[in-house]
Amino acid sequence: MKLFIKKPKRRRYILWGLSLFFLLSAFFTASFSYYLYSEIKDRFSSRRWSVPARVFSSTVPVYRGQAISLGQLRHMLEERRYKEASKEPVLAGEFKSSGNSLVAHLRDFQFPGVFLPSQLVEFDFEQSRIAAIRSPKEEISFLEVEPLEIARLYGSERESRMLINIRQVPQHLIDAVVAIEDHRFYEHSGFDLFGILRAMLADLSAGRVVQGGSTITQQLVKNYFLDSERNLRRKFLEFSMSLILEALYKKDEIMEMYLNEIYMGQRGSVAIHGIGEASAYYLGRNVEDLTLSEAAALAGMIRGPNSYSPLVNRQAALERRNLVLKRMLALRKISLSEYDSARLEILRMAPASTSARIAPYFVDYVRTQAQELYASATLASEGLAIYTTLQPEMAAAAETAIRDGLAEIENVSGDGSGSDEFKPSRRLQAVLIALQPKTGELYALVGGRDYAESSFNRALKGRCQPGSAVEPFIYLTALDRFKLSDWLFDLPVPYELNGVSWTPRNYDGRYRGKVALREAFEQSLNAATVNLAVETGLEAIIGTLRSFGIESPPGHLASLALGSFELTPMELARAYAVLGNDGQKPFLLSLKEIVAENGDVLERRHIDFSSVTSPAKAFLITSLLEGVVERGTAKGLKRLGIDFMCAGCAGTTSELRDSWFVGYTTDLLALVWVGYDDNSPTGLTGAQSAATIWARFMNLVRPWIQPQEFDAPPGVVEEMICPDSGQLATFHCKERKLEDFLSESRPNGYCTIHNR
């Protein structure tokens, strides 16, 4: 009787225990599932990937009649990683040249804030000039070539990723990935038991691991959420999260995540992630432009990016591509003819680009500005697009001009250029700044001869003496009292400065006595210039310099008149830009726009000016600077190929420590400085060093500029004068010449020398 009573109690306890166990198991399972659900939902509903900010140059204009050769255009396309087509038709990202024609299929450029459509364009050339541009539909007079990506602002993980939308992806790429990685992807629910069994059999048969059983969904979970440690816990999490991910998202959404996440190899210290980035890096194509063969090659790399990279092992990459194509044929994703054609296609890589090495000083300047606006974490993860004013062809020309120009200067011997001053323990440095004076846009900025050797940006931070390069601002101030036809005293007049007697001396040691103002300027006569500065007044000249953006002019006459004070090259370039912009001081632009990933403009810098002198006065100084190039200290530029209208000024400091040349056309201003970092003498004048580098640069960028005559603005009149008297010429004058005057200060009398 006792046994009969105990059995029901024992069963009841067991049932209670089992019920409690199942309840607790259900509770923990539900809680765990909800935790995984929340983790996945939160992660994918917020920002999914860290995408570094990309820094772009400006677009490059190409137009009919432009002085650019077929070879130069070809080089531009190769810089942007276009490939030469091996067959017809020419696909997006390819070009083909024949005779005097070049056909390019421009790929579309679609980044936040900028869209350039894909189009097939043919260029015809005559005598190194574009004679015609046409598309299959129409004649084209002007088009823009896509900008260069010049930098990325990485975070600590240094992952590079170009996000794509599933709608961009061609079907043959999806088919290739599915065929080689998970051919039942669109059938299973995140976990493929048949795939696991098949992989186990293949591994047992081969005696080693030859196949993986993970689905695409499991690979995504493993790469995105989990660490690389192999244990039962991780496999359980991978299995659970795969099921939840499949329940939350559609197959195409999962495929898009996968294609953006997968690791696709290394570019130096940078990890390449995603098909979009891999397509651009390895093949120079947008994803939507991939051929079947190229899609198969990229799909084949997923299993082992560094083993099957065509840059590392071309043969292995080809064999892997062919295996993918064979799988696609077996799964009836492609026809036999498509298989044969793709298998025979040559796998051609995009040419290596030097864009990442172009303009490092400029990139540092833009990075500093961006970091003042946004936290480093934002720049490294939010996918911002940063558009700049850099003109990549001009930037490359600036670096070439400095490299080759300094090498030539250092190799010169026995010609009075000061070559005996060069010592192995030090190297000449140079700065080149190029900008559009009408807008203030910086086209090129080189802060030294070798960024790898020294990243110190001398253009922005170097303090140098301007020497005679400051003279235009002294003469401009003097226009309130003097005319270009007036006479100056070119004599070694002693001045007492701070109790010490000081006498200005001309560079050539000669003094002309009485000299025309124009000639004193064109020949850079120190004595005449100092005498002019004394009569003009120290305070007035200091006011001019400050209004032109030179922030720290000196407080005594000797330093002011001879430029023996310090400024940065950027300050001097900005001051000269006023002369090239009708008296308007431009705000110098390097960063134009910062655009969010969704296309919202976060920051926009506008062209801005402030008036600091009249257009008439600015034109008169430009007229004097034209004379410097035509007849004065810079007339040697003609021998260096400068055959177009330009204005310029060479500058040299005392003891030949700093050498300058600043010159401008109607659409480009360029400044060059040459010197040593330790401020020791170079033995070089501005005409011997800086001017030669300036000429090299201007000849290299000739296709991108269209110099015109400097037009006289209202307020300037032209009069025929007698060079001997500086007065209005008569029929009795032996010589006559045209001279420019301010309308309010034209000569008011006729020549008194020849009109007796």
Interatomic CA distance for residues 587 and 440, integer angstroms = 6
Interatomic CA distance for residues 222 and 228, integer angstroms = 8
Structure tokens given for 206: 């081969």
Identity of the residue numbered 273: H
Within 17-74, strands assigned E span: 53-56, 60-63
CB of 457 closer than 8 Å to CB of 364? yes
Considering the candidates 160, 293, 309, 468, report the single residue annotated as catalytic.
468
Our CA angle for 230, 231, 237, nearest 5°, is 100
Residues 6+ apart with CB under 8 A from 380: 50, 52, 53, 153, 154, 155, 156
Residue in 158, 171, 176, 157 with CA at minimum distance from that of residue 302: 176
CA contacts within 13 A on the Cβ side of 502 = 16
Structure tokens given for 551: 């922030």
DSSP 3-state of 187:
coil
The verdict on whether 181 is a catalytic residue reads yes
CB of 491 closer than 8 Å to CB of 527? yes
Neighbours of 197 (CB within 10 A): 11
DSSP per-residue string spanning 271-297: EEESHHHHIIIII---GGG--HHHHHH
Considering the candidates 94, 149, 181, 441, report the single residue annotated as catalytic.
181
Interatomic CA distance for residues 1 and 14, integer angstroms = 21
First to last CA, the chain: 159
Instruction: For residue 403, report the phi and psi dihedrals to the nearest 5 degrees.
Output: -60, -50
In DSSP terms, 750 is beta-bridged to 728
- Is the dihedral angle over the CA atoms 450, 451, 455, 460 positive or is it negative? positive
Interatomic CA distance for residues 563 and 479, integer angstroms = 19
Identity of the residue numbered 666: T
Q: Which ranges in 610-730 belong to alpha helices (H)?
A: 615-630, 690-700
Structure tokens given for 602: 């976060």
Ramachandran region of residue 457, left (φ > 0), alpha (ψ -120 to 50) or beta? Answer: beta
Catalytic residues: 181, 468
